[in-house]
Amino acid sequence: MKQNYFRKAFKPLIPVLLIASALWGISAAASAQTGGTGNMIPIPTISLSLDQADDSDRLATVINVLFLLTVLALAPSILVMMTSFVRIVVVFGFLRQAMGTQQTPPNQIIVSLALFLTFYLMLPVWRDIENRAFKPFMSNEITQTEAVSRALEPVREFMFLQTREKDLALFMRIAGDPKPLNKAEVPTMSLIPAFIISELKTAFTIGFLLYMPFLIIDMVVASVLLSMGMMMLPPVMISLPFKLMLFVLVDGWNLLVGSIVRSFGPVAGAPG
């Protein structure tokens, strides 16, 4: 009985022991090939050091790399909060809730569509940034600080077009900034949050208009079911096909996307 017990107890360890013995045999063979000195196959190592930079060009290259890494780390926040992405993705979320389709379309599709529409809308702005800042900086015509200042100008112009004066005045008053005489005196740190809450208000307004036709369908279906005495039947199950049919018949995606794009008006940097 004891022998059978020990066999069952050590049976799972047999593959582990076989692998360990095989590895030991490989290491022993490698040691024998190196003359028995015990020297194993060399393993590369990585070392980090801080040296004094005597060359100014080398120092400038290191600073540029660090600046690029910083921009890449902040790129998602810049893309989300300083572009048209906020309004588009919030409106798509309201559409899905108003139709009652739960997770259809999935989040990945909604975010992807919002990103592509953002690229489409912001393309004139990014072209303006390329012409004003990126190309001169790559040609060593301007400094890094001047390039950043020039790159902010088209983005600020776009945000000014979508920001309400009331929201901008709120954040400038909170920050204690004096009343600006022109747009150039408005600090960017006050412009960004004002732009975000202005975008949220616009998105909520569009969401309210989206909810109204679907809400009417829900009310009509609920009234019909109640009058027929079908109180145990969820109205959502009956109203959902009618919502989908209405959305398809009016070509909802075309109307919605077209309305969102036109709601931004003339984008800063766009030709004509």
In the chain, the amino acid numbered 266 is P
Q: What pLDDT, in 10s, does the model give residues 56-79? A: 555 556 666 666 676 666 667 777
Q: Name the helix (H) or strand (E) containing 113.
A: helix 107-129
Q: Which residue has better confidence, 229 or 9?
A: 229
* pLDDT over 90 at 188, yes or no: no
Q: What pLDDT, in 10s, does the model give residues 24-53? A: 444 444 455 545 444 555 555 555 455 555
So what's the pLDDT on residue 252?
A: 85
For residue 195, what are the contacts with CB-CB under 8 A and spacing of at least 6?
Answer: 82, 159, 162, 163, 167
* pLDDT over 80 at 154, yes or no: yes
Packed helices 188-227 and 252-263: angle between N→C axes, nearest 10 degrees: 150
Q: Rounded to a whole number, what is the distance in angstroms from the first to the last CA of the chain? A: 93
- Would you say 243 and 217 are in contact if contact means Cβ atoms under 8 Å apart? yes
Is pTM beyond 0.75 here?
no
Q: Which residue has better confidence, 269 or 124?
A: 124
For residue 233, what are the contacts with CB-CB under 8 A and spacing of at least 6?
Answer: 225
Lowest mean pLDDT across 17-26, 122-131, 190-199 = 17-26
So what's the pLDDT on residue 48?
A: 47
So what's the pLDDT on residue 197?
A: 92
Tokens of 120: 């489409």
* pLDDT over 50 at 271, yes or no: no
So what's the pLDDT on residue 9?
A: 47
* pLDDT over 90 at 17, yes or no: no
In the chain, the amino acid numbered 261 is V
- Would you say 239 and 217 are in contact if contact means Cβ atoms under 8 Å apart? yes
Could you give phi then psi for residue 14, rounded to 5 degrees? Answer: -65, -50
So what's the pLDDT on residue 72?
A: 67
Tokens of 167: 């929201």
Q: Which residue has better confidence, 235 or 259?
A: 259
* pLDDT over 60 at 183, yes or no: yes
* pLDDT over 80 at 88, yes or no: yes
The average pLDDT across 130-141 equals: 84
Q: Where are the domains of the chain?
A: 79-263
* Long-range contacts of the stretch 44-49 (C-beta < 8 A, 24+): none
